[in-house]
């Protein structure tokens, strides 16, 4: 039960930050893009669950949590490097960012297997992830509308990711 709640907490937190990362000054994401990101999440987590069934007795939970924290830090660095002031974080040249997000979601699936969470957590987390992306977009959009003159407000979702990395590593 606690493992499921921990997995759901990190799923919602990552969804908030990815939703915020999808907002840019020029282009707003469509519902189709949110749906495709959610399918990407579902596929990567499922692959992580299936592959980790082979190694669940070999890999320690602490190792996976530290690895997830390091991948989140790498995600922050790559997002910061790939940021375009008008196009945002996800644009045509952000292929590496999608690769690191696949690795992050894959590790989520591995962690859920090691925590012995039910497969129903995966199905429920897909819905929570979708709605947390939408809420993250709303929050980031409102923040951008209120303090649009501050140029550093676009980096706010990276702060959420930094908090997740700190919780995972320590």
The residues pairing with 88 across neighbouring beta strands, listed in sequence order, are 84
Q: What is the pTM of this model?
A: 0.93
Determine contact, residues 41/80, Cβ cutoff 8 Å.
no
Residue 86: helix, strand or coil by DSSP? coil
pLDDT tens by residue, 158-169: 999 999 999 999
Spacing of C-alpha 74 from chain mean position: 12
Domain ranges (residues) in the chain: 2-169
Q: Could you count the other beta carbons within 10 Å of the beta carbon of residue 147?
A: 12
pLDDT tens by residue, 20-69: 999 976 678 889 999 999 999 999 999 999 999 988 788 888 999 999 99
In the DSSP assignment, the letter for residue 88 is B
pLDDT tens by residue, 87-124: 889 887 788 999 999 999 999 999 999 988 888 889 99
Distance CA 63, CA 38 (A): 26
The secondary structure element, H or E, covering residue 117 is none
Q: Could you count the other beta carbons within 10 Å of the beta carbon of residue 112?
A: 26
Determine contact, residues 128/8, Cβ cutoff 8 Å.
yes
The pLDDT assigned to 121 comes to: 87
pLDDT tens by residue, 1-11: 677 888 899 99
């Amino acid at each position: 039960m606690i493992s499921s709640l921990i997995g759901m907490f990190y799923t919602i937190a990552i969804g908030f930050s990815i939703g915020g990362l999808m907002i840019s000054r020029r282009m707003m994401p469509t519902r189709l893009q949110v749906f495709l990101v959610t399918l990407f999440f579902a596929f990567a987590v499922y692959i992580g669950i299936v592959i980790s069934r082979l190694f669940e007795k070999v890999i320690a939970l602490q190792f996976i949590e530290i690895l997830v924290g390091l991948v989140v830090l790498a995600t922050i660095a790559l997002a910061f490097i790939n940021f375009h002031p008008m196009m945002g974080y996800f644009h045509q040249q952000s292929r590496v960012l999608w690769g690191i997000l696949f690795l992050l979601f894959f590790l989520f699936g591995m962690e859920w297997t090691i925590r012995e969470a039910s497969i129903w957590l995966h199905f429920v987390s897909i819905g929570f992830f979708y709605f947390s992306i939408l809420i993250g977009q709303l929050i980031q959009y409102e923040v951008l509308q209120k303090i649009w003159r501050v140029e550093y407000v676009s980096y706010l979702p990276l702060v959420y990711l930094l908090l997740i990395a700190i919780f995972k590593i320590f």
